[in-house]
Amino acid sequence: MEWLDTPCPSPDAGAIIAARLRQSQLTKPPGALGDLETLAIRLAGLQRRERPAIDKVQISVFAADHGVAEEGVSAFPQAVTAQMVQNFLTGGAAISVLAGELDATLEVVDVGVKTTLSHPQLISQRAGDGTANSALEAAMGHAQMHLALQAGADAAARARSASADLFIGGEMGIANTTAATALYCALLDTPIDEITGAGTGLDGAGMAHKVTVIRRILNQHRHHFPDPLETLRCVGGFEIAALTGAYLRAAQLGMPVLVDGFISTAAALVAVRLQPALADWLLLSHLSAEQGHSFAVAEFKHPPLLDLGMRLGEGSGAAVAVPLLRLACALHNNMATFAEAAVAGKLP
């Protein structure tokens, strides 16, 4: 696990300057492409070249179960985690459809679904048969958490080996908005009831119960806060740990990361607490409709690109933002300059 402390590289200042200069010469009023300009310039810095590209995208979805599901914090039964893994693999889930449309590589990693699954395309790197119930004890043991972090790092390494230009992490795990909310409360010190949302669709009574359970989780493990890894171990989940490891490793290996929604941002927050320099590598894709995500994204310098009221997870919000990155690069790389097109510049 020495890689955990490997520093994330800094963006290339020279490439940023070159990209910014290029943007200023393209046939448009300065700044008229808004966030698409900023994106192209950020990507230039991360990919260390004046003209970035997002051709090859890897999406790794990590699935695991949560002991805390037995507290009745989800609107869906726990069996859905395993059923959705099957659905990812057979192409019927949102992320499967999106990966196909984007021509992205989709891999599914079992980091600890309760039922053992078998499928030729499933990557099995299980840290346990679901986590323990964090309302009663630590969700993970130390060795388990390390296995899950490593599963994430391995996914990032596979993406790098396949020359991916962008890494997206996704997750599936019934009850994982409870784990993510507990992480936010512990790391951000935000009020539980302001950050707790409906997850997959709780009603008012269900939300109130979820708040009570999260309060129990926080009281149980408060002495470990705000140490990020211990907090992750006590209240998190295998798939959240895997995302944490994947984000850090992707950045260490020089790959920009597109972060999905509420659960993924919790992993991103843990990872940034471990290494603040990671923040440059994380592009937030969308603002989730899950109440509380706005607190989380406020911790990052750049706001999310999209606000479409999505709250599905799986990496779906990040996938939906991929075309924006691709179009930002295409505009940056292929538009004519004022000189090339013989277009007059701004009046003096």
Q: Is 314 a catalytic residue?
A: yes
Q: Residues in contact with a copy of itself, total (CB under 8 A)? A: 62
Minimum distance between the CB of residue 105 and a copy of itself, rounded to whole angstroms? 17
- 94 vs 271, which CB is nearer to a copy of itself? 94
Q: Which of 43, 93, 104, 243 binds a copy of itself (CB under 8 A)?
A: 93
- 36 vs 253, which CB is nearer to a copy of itself? 36
200 lines the binding site for a copy of itself (CB under 8 A):
yes
Q: Which residues inside 299-338 make contact with a copy of itself, applying CB under 8 A?
A: 305-312, 316, 319-320, 323-324, 326-327, 330-331, 334-336
Q: In 3D, which of 171, 160, 148, 166 has the Cα closest to residue 315? A: 171
Rounded distance, CA 258 to CA 304, Å?
Answer: 10
Contacts for 33 with CB less than 8 Å, ≥ 6 apart? 23, 328, 331
339 lines the binding site for a copy of itself (CB under 8 A):
no
Measured CA angle at 156 (ends 175, 308), to 5 deg: 50
Question: In 278-315, which positions are buried (b, 16+ CB within 10 angstroms) versus exposed (e)?
Answer: bbbbbbbbbbbbbbbbebbbeebeeebbeeeebbbbbb
Q: Which of 98, 108, 117, 211 binds a copy of itself (CB under 8 A)?
A: 98
Residues linked to residue 63 through DSSP beta bridges, in sequence order: 110, 172
Minimum distance between the CB of residue 30 and a copy of itself, rounded to whole angstroms? 6
Rounded distance, CA 33 to CA 170, Å?
Answer: 29
Contacts for 160 with CB less than 8 Å, ≥ 6 apart? 250, 253, 254, 255
Rounded distance, CA 327 to CA 33, Å?
Answer: 11
25 lines the binding site for a copy of itself (CB under 8 A):
no
With contact defined as beta carbons under 8 Å apart, do 321 and 286 qualify? yes
8 lines the binding site for a copy of itself (CB under 8 A):
no
Write each residue from 279 to 298 as x if it is in contact with a copy of itself (CB under 8 A), else as -, in one continuous string.
----------x---------
The one-letter amino acid code at 67 reads: G
117 lines the binding site for a copy of itself (CB under 8 A):
no
The residue ranges that bind a copy of itself (CB under 8 A) are 26-36, 74-77, 79-80, 83-84, 86-87, 90-94, 97-98, 100-101, 199-201, 289, 305-312, 316, 319-320, 323-324, 326-327, 330-331, 334-336, 340-347
Q: Kindly list the catalytic residues.
A: 314
